[in-house]
């Protein structure tokens, strides 16, 4: 082969390799789908017999199902704060939901500005970040998602919203606290960026469509999508399209929640299809979870076999449906029984993006990729801790200590009693003392809350206990 021909062949080979490089070296897309108030018994693949969720079932079967997945708090806002920072929210005072009923003007409520969020870590890596849905981390201008690392926002700033209005086609619902089944207007405005828009779609459907549009806009570069669904949080609103799927469910409240979960499942399926249709399935890691357990008080949700509910630190309040999938990277059909946390998402996503963990920030989550790919088998955490005012808990291995102020302090063996029905502290006093000391040591490194709590009575094991929110 002469030099000219060899040079031409080398040029063609180099061009061919260069053409393949973007696909081979591209940083993966990262997607979080966060449900709201979804209990362990509200989803088919985690035991909800009445609720059909085939899309989430497929996502779970195609990756890793975490049977012992936890969130950092039993209510919405602190749970989100921990997820987006990878840190215990008690490190920076975001311990409670806003205490004021008129929280929009509560001066001290919002994710502290000194805390760095996941999209802020991803921006220097070339990521476009979008949030669709619920924010609930502050409504003042400096707390807006576009000021906290996100490039796009479509959703609402508050903690709950109406899924439908009187203008929404085929809407149906049950009366809320004000006695309205379907209101004339949503309680929080829908924003595109910082501009209010008129949104007539059923809200879960709208969030699905907006998420797919975001993927389509940024399919040629790495993106981070945070789909913060408000489903299945109160109020109980659905449409005939979803209601009609559950004629066999006789309890009206349960039927509406099943319909809301079906809309959430359809939204998840729409996002997954858009990823596949865009040829991005092997370049996209998807995590699905809930922000806390079902509140139960609405008579619609279920936490399966678990004791407690939203607001409590029993399993029903903090143990949630949790799954991760990444075609070609995470083997399908895996089940992980080690305790993991929503705080693990940030360091896992950073590792997936090829970024080192920040050296100057104390992260409390860990990179789960070795566990997800099968390269590691050991538990990723020595222990997990919770605190919200009087509510305290710690889990180490099979043991869990739950306390509610001075009212009680109970120890459970989750390996034999996942429903937390039998207090074994009298049988294992040394374990009880060890876990209490561990919690005290952890607590000594946290700071005081930045704003006070509200309180709510929640029934647990037929007891009425007052928990801080």
Q: How far, in Å, CA of 233 to CA of 265, rounded?
A: 14
- List the chain domain ranges: 27-373, 384-468
* DSSP-based three-state secondary structure for 316: helix
In this prediction, residue 6 carries a pLDDT of 39
Residue in the block written with tokens 């279920």: 302
Angstrom distance (rounded) from CA 292 to CA 218: 30
How confident is the model at residue 102, as a pLDDT?
Answer: 59
Tokens of 106: 């509560």
d(CA 419, CA 330): 30
Residue 399 DSSP one-character state: E
CB contact set of 217 (below 8 Å; sequence gap of 6+): none
Residue with tokens 């796009």: 152
Return phi, psi of residue 434, to 5°.
Answer: -60, -45
CA distance 18 to 379: 41
Q: Which residues pair with 459 in a beta bridge?
A: 464
Q: With the CA atoms of 7, 9, 11 and 13 taken in that order, what torsion angle do they form, in degrees rounded to the nearest 10? A: -150
Please, are residues 157 and 135 in contact by the beta-carbon 8 Å criterion? Answer: yes
Burial of 25 from C-beta contacts in 10 A (0-12 / 13-18 / 19+): exposed
List CB contacts of 126: < 8 A, sequence separation 6 or more: 27, 221, 222
- Is the omega angle on the peptide bond into residue 232 within 30 degrees of 0, that is, cis? yes
What pTM was computed for the model?
Answer: 0.93
Structure tokens at 455: 């309180």
Neighbours of 5 (CB within 10 A): 9
Cβ-in-10-Å burial (0-12, 13-18, 19+) of 447 comes to: exposed
The first and second tokens of residue 189, run together, are 């405005």
Distance CA 429, CA 426 (A): 6
> Pick from 261, 291, 286: which is nearest to 273 by CA?
286
Give the model's pLDDT for residue 454: 86
Residue found under tokens 């012992």: 68
What span, in angstroms and rounded, lies between the C-alpha atoms of 412 and 328? 39
- For the chain, the 3-state helix, strand and coil shares in percent, each to the nearest 5, are 35, 20, 45
Pairing of strands 171-173, 237-239: antiparallel
Three-state DSSP state, 232 = coil
The fold for domain 384-468 equals: Arylsulfatase, C-terminal domain (3.30.1120)
Which pairing describes strands 128-134 and 152-156: parallel, antiparallel, or unpaired?
Answer: parallel
How many Å separate Cα 181 from the centre of its chain? 27
Active site residues: 76, 136
Q: What is the pLDDT of residue 103?
A: 55
Per-residue model confidence (pLDDT) at position 466: 84
The pLDDT averaged over each successive group of 10 residues in the chain (469 residues) is 42 38 70 97 90 95 98 98 98 90 69 98 98 96 97 96 90 81 90 97 98 98 98 96 94 95 98 98 97 93 95 97 97 97 98 94 98 95 97 98 92 98 98 98 97 84 78
> What is the sign of the dihedral through the CA atoms of 447, 448, 450 and 452?
positive
Give the CA distances from residue 101 to residues 27, 175, 309, 469, in Å, rounded to whole numbers and listed in that order. Answer: 42, 20, 22, 12
pLDDT computed for residue 468 by the predictor: 87
Helix residue ranges per DSSP H, 49-143: 54-61, 76-85, 118-122
In angstroms, the CA 112 to CA 253 distance is 37
pLDDT at 101: 59
Beta bridge partners of residue 402, listed in sequence order: 393, 410
Residues with Cβ < 8 Å from 181, sequence gap 6 or more?
A: 172, 173, 174, 175
Q: What is the pLDDT of residue 244?
A: 95
What is the CATH class of 27-373?
alpha beta
Q: How far apart are CA 148 and CA 221, in angstroms?
A: 21
């Amino acid at each position: 082969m002469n030099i000219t021909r060899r040079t031409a062949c080398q040029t063609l080979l180099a061009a061919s390799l260069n053409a393949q490089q973007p696909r081979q070296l591209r940083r993966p897309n990262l997607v979080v789908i966060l449900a709201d108030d979804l209990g362990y018994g509200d989803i088919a693949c985690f035991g909800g017999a009445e609720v059909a969720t085939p899309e989430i079932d497929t996502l779970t079967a195609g990756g890793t199902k975490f049977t012992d997945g936890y969130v950092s708090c039993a209510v919405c806002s602190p749970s989100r704060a921990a997820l987006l920072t990878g840190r215990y929210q008690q490190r920076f005072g975001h311990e409670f939901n806003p205490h004021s009923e008129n929280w929009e003007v509560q001066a001290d409520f919002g994710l502290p500005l000194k805390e760095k969020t996941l999209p802020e870590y991803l921006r220097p890596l070339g990521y476009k970040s979008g949030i669709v849905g619920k924010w609930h981390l502050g409504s003042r201008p400096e707390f807006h998602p576009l000021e906290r690392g996100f490039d796009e926002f479509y959703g609402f700033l508050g903690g709950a919203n109406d899924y439908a209005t009187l203008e929404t086609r085929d809407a149906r619902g049950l009366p809320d606290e004000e006695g309205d089944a379907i209101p004339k207007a949503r309680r929080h405005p829908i924003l595109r960026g910082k501009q209010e828009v008129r949104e007539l779609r059923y809200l879960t459907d709208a969030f699905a469509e907006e998420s797919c549009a975001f993927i389509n806009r940024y399919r040629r570069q790495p993106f981070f999508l945070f789909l913060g669904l408000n489903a299945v949080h109160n109020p109980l609103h659905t449409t005939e399209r979803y209601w009609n799927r559950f004629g066999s469910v006789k309890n009206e409240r349960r039927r509406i929640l099943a319909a809301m979960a079906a809309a959430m499942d359809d939204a998840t399926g729409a996002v997954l299809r858009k990823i596949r249709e865009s040829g991005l399935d092997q370049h996209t890691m998807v995590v699905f979870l809930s922000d806390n357990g079902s509140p139960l008080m609405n008579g619609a949700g279920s936490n399966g076999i678990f004791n407690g509910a939203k607001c409590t630190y029993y399993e029903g309040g903090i143990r949630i449906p949790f799954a991760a999938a990444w075609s070609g990277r995470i083997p399908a059909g895996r089940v992980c029984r080690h305790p993991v946390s929503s705080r693990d998402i940030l360091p896992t996503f950073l590792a997936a993006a090829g970024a080192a963990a920040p050296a100057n920030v104390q992260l409390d989550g860990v990179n789960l990729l070795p566990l997800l790919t099968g390269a590691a088998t050991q538990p990723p955490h020595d222990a997990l801790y919770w605190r919200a005012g009087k509510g305290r808990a710690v889990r180490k291995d099979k043991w869990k200590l739950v306390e509610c102020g001075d009212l009680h302090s109970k120890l459970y063996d989750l390996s034999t009693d996942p429903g937390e029905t039998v207090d074994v502290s009298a049988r294992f006093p040394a374990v009880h003392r060890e876990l209490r000391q561990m919690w005290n040591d952890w607590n000594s490194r946290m700071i005081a809350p930045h704003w006070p709590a509200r309180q709510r009575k929640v029934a647990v094991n037929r007891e009425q206990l007052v928990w801080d929110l």
